[in-house]
């Protein structure tokens, strides 16, 4: 066992907080200077409308976190207080923000929950259940969106939001979304099988797969994951349908609130012609973000936002890029950077109280 495996907080060093900021701002400044146009910034003016909808955008982020807090209370059978739930969610979001999108903060989330007084078995079950519910939201919503919105509208950019061009098989956004969705679907099927059908069989399969030479160094982590799935299965199989409906309702509330942030952000400056399409593209963006190797999707997020949502900026094409960069930065300031600040303040004190003093 390596030092990092025995102490997962080694993964969250001070430099990991700096990385996503540097990467994200670096991409923003690159596009800023590339797309700089004085006329673009003259359009972004201070007004009561801007203040109102920026406040609403922030409110949607608060609602998103409230949904997470409610969900973790439900999953812990209210053993976590409201204050403890808030603390866990903030630390969890911080961990997610400083790790690659494909990894997220779940690797140490169960420690946060366990150290708040929940036994290890239930802590593991809570983390597994949150991952399962998040993926179910995407797995259900993505095909529903495809049934109600033409594929051309979702993936073809640079033609406004009318979307009547034929979609190309080489479309980068289509491939990002398909790969992301496929990974989520496979993960959800495997996790569902492990949690609700055959947890020991899944652990056995993981150990076989991680005997492969290029995966062998992750075999210990696979062993821990398999054990966590067995523990979680015993806990989650006992829950009734009302438990899952409440948990999924909180999940739906949380993710839907998150996607409405950009709707409010754009309304601060422009009229939005198709709110539902804007919402749908944000959900597709989440699938794309899964392929990002950077901490919290930094850099990749700003790029995707500027390119993929640029059709909703009703200005001349010559200045749309400059405005898109400003909006992408505002979006990340509202939805991402606060967790870095809050987590960086909370985590050292939390470690001191919950881990250092307990040892």
Residues 129 and 225: their CA atoms lie apart, in Å, by: 14
Q: How far apart are CA 243 and CA 206, in angstroms?
A: 29
Q: Is the pLDDT of residue 280 over 50?
A: yes
* Range 17-23 average pLDDT: 60
Q: Please give the Cα distance from 207 to 220 (Å, whole number).
A: 9
What pLDDT is recorded for position 57? 95
Q: How confident is the model at residue 8 (pLDDT cuts 50, 70, 90)?
A: low
| Cα–Cα distance, 284 to 295 (Å, whole number) | 19
Position 7 scores a pLDDT of 55
Cα(247)–Cα(83) distance, integer angstroms: 19
CB crowding 250-275: b at 16 or more within 10 Å, else e: bbbbbbbbbbbbbbbbbbbbeebebe
Between 309 and 67, the more confident residue is 67
C-beta separation of 89 from 127 below 8 A: no
- What are the pLDDT digits (tens) for 252-261? 999 999 999 9
**Any idea which residue has 């204050």 for tokens?**
83
* Confidence at residue 63, expressed as pLDDT on a 0 to 100 scale: 97
9 or 254, higher pLDDT: 254
The mean pLDDT of 160-172, rounded to a whole number, is 54
Can you tell me the distance from the alpha carbon of 151 to that of 163, in angstroms, rounded to the nearest whole number? Answer: 8
Residues in the chain: 359
pLDDT at 54: 94
* 47 secondary structure, DSSP code: -
- Give CA separation, 147 vs 5, 133, 134, 274, in Å: 44, 22, 21, 16
Tell me the pLDDT tens digit for each residue of 35-88.
555 555 666 677 899 999 999 999 999 999 999 999 999 999 999 999 999 999
Residue 182: strand, helix, or coil:
helix
Round the average pLDDT of the chain to a whole number and report it: 79
- pLDDT band at residue 290 under the 50/70/90 scheme: low
Rounded to 10 deg, the angle between the 172-196 and 275-289 helix axes is 70
The tens digit of pLDDT for each residue in 328-356 reads 778 888 888 888 888 888 888 888 887 76
Query: In this predicted structure, what is the pLDDT of residue 210?
Result: 81
Segments making up each domain of the chain, as ranges = 9-356
Please choose, from the candidates 253, 254, 255, 273, the residue with its C-alpha nearest in 3D space to the C-alpha of residue 263: 273
Using CA atoms, how far apart are residues 142 and 246, in angstroms rounded to an integer?
A: 21
- For the cut 60, the answer to whether the pLDDT of residue 3 exceeds it is no
Q: What is the pLDDT of residue 76?
A: 93
Instruction: Decide: 129 and 123 in contact? Cβ < 8 Å.
Output: no
Tokens of 47: 């007004």
């Amino acid at each position: 066992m390596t030092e990092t495996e025995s102490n997962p907080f080694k993964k969250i060093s001070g430099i990991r907080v700096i990385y996503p900021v540097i990467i994200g701002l670096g991409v923003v400044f690159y596009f800023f200077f590339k797309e700089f146009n004085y006329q673009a910034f003259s359009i972004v003016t201070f007004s009561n409308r801007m203040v109102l909808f920026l406040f609403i955008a922030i409110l949607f982020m608060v609602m998103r976190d409230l949904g997470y807090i409610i969900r973790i209370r439900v999953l812990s059978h209210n053993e976590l207080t409201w204050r403890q739930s808030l603390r866990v969610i903030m630390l969890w979001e911080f961990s997610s923000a400083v790790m690659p999108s494909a990894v997220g903060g779940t690797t140490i989330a169960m420690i946060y929950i366990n150290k708040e007084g929940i036994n290890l078995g239930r802590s593991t079950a809570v983390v597994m259940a949150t991952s399962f519910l998040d993926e179910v939201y995407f797995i259900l919503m993505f095909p529903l969106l495809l049934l109600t919105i033409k594929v051309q509208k979702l993936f073809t950019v640079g033609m406004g939001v009318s979307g009547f061009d034929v979609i190309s098989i080489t479309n980068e956004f289509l491939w990002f979304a398909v790969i992301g969705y496929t990974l989520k679907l496979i993960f959800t099927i495997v996790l569902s099988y492990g949690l609700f059908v055959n947890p020991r069989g899944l652990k056995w399969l993981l150990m076989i797969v991680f005997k492969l030479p290029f995966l062998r160094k992750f075999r210990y982590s696979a062993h821990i994951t398999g054990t966590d799935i067995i523990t979680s299965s015993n806990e989650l199989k006992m829950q009734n349908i009302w438990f899952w409906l409440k948990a999924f309702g909180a999940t739906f509330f949380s993710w839907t609130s998150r996607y409405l942030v950009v709707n409010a952000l754009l309304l601060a400056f422009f009229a939005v012609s198709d709110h539902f399409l804007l919402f749908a593209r944000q959900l597709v963006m989440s699938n794309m973000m899964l392929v990002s190797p950077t901490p919290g999707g930094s850099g990749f997020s700003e790029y995707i936002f500027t390119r993929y949502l640029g059709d909703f900026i009703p200005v001349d094409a010559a200045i749309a890029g400059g405005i898109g960069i400003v909006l992408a930065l505002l979006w990340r300031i509202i939805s991402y950077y606060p967790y870095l600040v809050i987590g960086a303040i909370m985590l050292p004190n939390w470690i001191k109280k919950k881990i250092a003093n307990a040892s």
